[in-house]
C-alpha cells in the first residue's frame, strides 16, 4: 500500500467483503482528510477553508457496505492536494516553477476553473498556494498517489469481473447544498450522473432514482454534475463496465458550517445500505454486456 504524510497514513484503502454479494463497487475518491504538513505550510489559506473541498464523511456513509458484501474504496489524501477524479496530467502551467511535460493537458475546462489534477483553488474559488510549486513536486504526487490509486482500482475492477462477469462502479460524492451562482435552482438531495446516458446501462440510474425517491429523497439527473473522470473513464457499458456517480447534498447528513455529522447521518448511511441491497437483488447482471478486462 502506498503511504504518504511521513509514512503514517495509507494513501487509499480498499476493503473487500468476506462474502461477495454482487459486482458492485462503492468508491469515495474525495473524502480524504489527511493533510501533509508541507502542503499546509505552502497553503495561503487555513485548514478549515481547505476542507471545504472535501466530500466530508462520504467514506463513512459507504464504509459499512463491505460488511454487507460489497467492496469499498476510500482515498485518504485530500482532493485539494491531488484529485484522482481528473485526467492524470490536467495541470495549470501558471501554478508551477519549471516546464510541464509536453503531454500535459493545460487547456481543459477543469484546468481553466482551477480544478485540475493538482488544484489551484478550493471549491469556493480561493487560491490555495502562496507561491508557485515545483513541477517535480506535482509530478511526484501523481506518481506516488494518483497512479497507485488508479492501478489498484483497475485491479479491483478486474477481480470483480473474474468473479461475476460484469462490474458496476458507484462513485460517491457530496455537494454543497447551495451553488456558487444565485441563479442556480435549489439543489436536490441527490444528483445522479451517468454522463448523459453514456457511462452505464439506463437501468442503473433508473433503479437508483426509484429506490432513493421511495426513501424520501429528491433526485436530479446530470445537472450540475454529470460525472467526472472516473465515471467517464471507467464507464464503458458496451464492454460490460458500468459507472454511475452519486452526488449527495451535504445538508442532508451534516452541518456544513461546523463540518459535523447531523442527527440524520445514521439514517442516510442505512439508506445507502438499502440502495446497495436493491442493486444486488434487482439488477440483472448477466444482461449487462460482455466485459473486457481493464488494462493494468
Q: Write down how long the chain is.
A: 296
Residues 2, 11 contacting (CB under 8 angstroms):
yes
Kindly state whether residue 85 falls inside one of the protein's structural domains. no
Q: Say if strands 12-15 and 72-75 run parallel, antiparallel, or are unpaired.
A: antiparallel
Give the model's pLDDT for residue 9: 76
The answer on pLDDT for 290 being more than 70 is: no
pTM over 0.85: yes
- Residue 76 CA to residue 35 CA, distance in Å, equals 9
Kindly state whether residue 199 falls inside one of the protein's structural domains. yes
Locate 184 and state its grid cell: 442556480
The answer on pLDDT for 155 being more than 70 is: yes
Give the model's pLDDT for residue 295: 47
Domain count, the chain: 1
> Which residue, 8, 59, 60, is CA-closest to 34?
8
Give the model's pLDDT for residue 4: 59
The answer on pLDDT for 6 being more than 80 is: no
Residues 233, 149 contacting (CB under 8 angstroms):
no
| Percent share of the chain, pLDDT over 70 | 94
* pLDDT tens digits for range 18-31: 999 999 999 999 99
Give the model's pLDDT for residue 296: 44
CB neighbour list of residue 253: distance below 8 Å, 6 or more residues apart: 57, 61, 174, 261, 262, 264, 265, 268
Q: Where are the beta strands (DSSP E) in 104-217?
A: 133-134, 167-175, 190-193
- Residue 74 CA to residue 57 CA, distance in Å, equals 11
Kindly state whether residue 165 falls inside one of the protein's structural domains. yes
Mean pLDDT of 130-150: 97
Locate 37 and state its grid cell: 504538513
Mean pLDDT of 97-112: 95
* pLDDT tens digits for range 253-274: 999 999 999 999 999 999 999 9
- Residue numbers of the domain that contains 18: 12-77+135-283
Residues 56, 176 contacting (CB under 8 angstroms):
no
User: Which residue's C-alpha cell is 493538482?
Assistant: 118
Give the model's pLDDT for residue 3: 57
φ, ψ of residue 171 in degrees (nearest 5): -95, 115
Kindly state whether residue 158 falls inside one of the protein's structural domains. yes
Kindly state whether residue 101 falls inside one of the protein's structural domains. no
- Under DSSP, the state recorded for 271 is H
Kindly state whether residue 139 falls inside one of the protein's structural domains. yes
96: part of which helix (H) or strand (E)? strand 96-97
Q: 289: pLDDT confidence band, cut at 50, 70 and 90?
A: confident
Locate 251 and state its grid cell: 445538508
| Residue 275, domain CATH | 3.40.630.40
Kindly state whether residue 249 falls inside one of the protein's structural domains. yes
220: part of which helix (H) or strand (E)? strand 219-221
Amino acid at each position: 500500500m502506498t503511504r504518504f504524510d511521513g509514512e503514517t497514513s495509507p494513501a487509499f484503502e480498499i476493503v473487500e467483503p468476506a462474502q461477495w454479494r454482487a459486482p458492485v463497487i462503492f468508491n469515495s475518491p474525495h473524502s480524504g482528510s489527511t493533510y501533509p504538513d508541507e502542503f499546509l505550510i505552502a497553503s495561503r489559506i487555513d485548514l478549515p477553508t481547505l476542507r471545504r473541498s472535501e466530500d466530508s464523511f462520504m467514506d463513512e456513509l459507504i464504509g459499512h457496505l463491505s460488511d454487507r458484501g460489497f467492496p469499498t474504496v476510500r482515498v485518504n489524501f485530500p482532493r485539494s492536494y491531488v484529485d484522482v477524479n481528473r485526467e492524470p496530467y490536467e495541470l495549470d502551467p501558471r501554478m508551477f516553477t519549471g516546464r510541464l511535460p509536453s503531454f500535459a493537458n493545460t487547456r481543459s475546462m477543469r484546468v481553466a476553473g482551477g480544478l485540475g489534477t493538482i488544484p489551484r483553488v478550493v471549491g469556493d474559488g480561493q487560491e490555495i498556494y502562496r507561491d508557485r510549486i515545483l513541477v517535480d513536486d506535482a509530478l511526484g504526487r501523481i506518481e506516488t498517489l494518483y497512479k497507485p490509486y488508479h492501478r489498484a482500482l483497475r485491479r479491483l475492477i478486474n477481480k470483480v469481473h473474474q468473479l461475476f462477469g460484469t462490474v458496476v462502479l458507484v462513485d460517491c460524492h457530496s455537494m454543497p447544498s447551495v451553488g456558487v451562482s444565485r441563479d442556480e435552482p435549489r439543489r436536490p438531495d441527490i444528483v445522479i450522473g451517468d454522463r448523459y446516458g453514456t457511462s452505464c446501462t439506463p437501468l442503473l440510474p433508473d433503479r437508483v432514482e426509484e429506490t432513493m425517491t421511495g426513501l424520501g429523497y429528491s433526485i436530479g439527473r446530470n445537472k450540475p454534475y454529470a460525472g467526472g473522470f472516473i465515471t467517464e473513464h471507467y464507464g464503458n457499458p458496451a464492454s460490460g463496465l458500468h459507472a454511475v456517480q452519486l452526488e449527495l447534498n451535504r445538508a442532508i447528513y451534516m452541518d456544513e458550517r461546523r463540518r459535523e455529522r447531523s442527527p440524520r447521518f445514521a439514517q442516510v448511511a442505512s439508506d445507502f445500505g438499502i440502495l446497495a441491497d436493491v442493486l444486488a437483488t434487482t439488477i440483472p447482471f448477466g444482461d449487462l454486456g460482455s466485459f473486457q478486462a481493464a488494462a493494468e
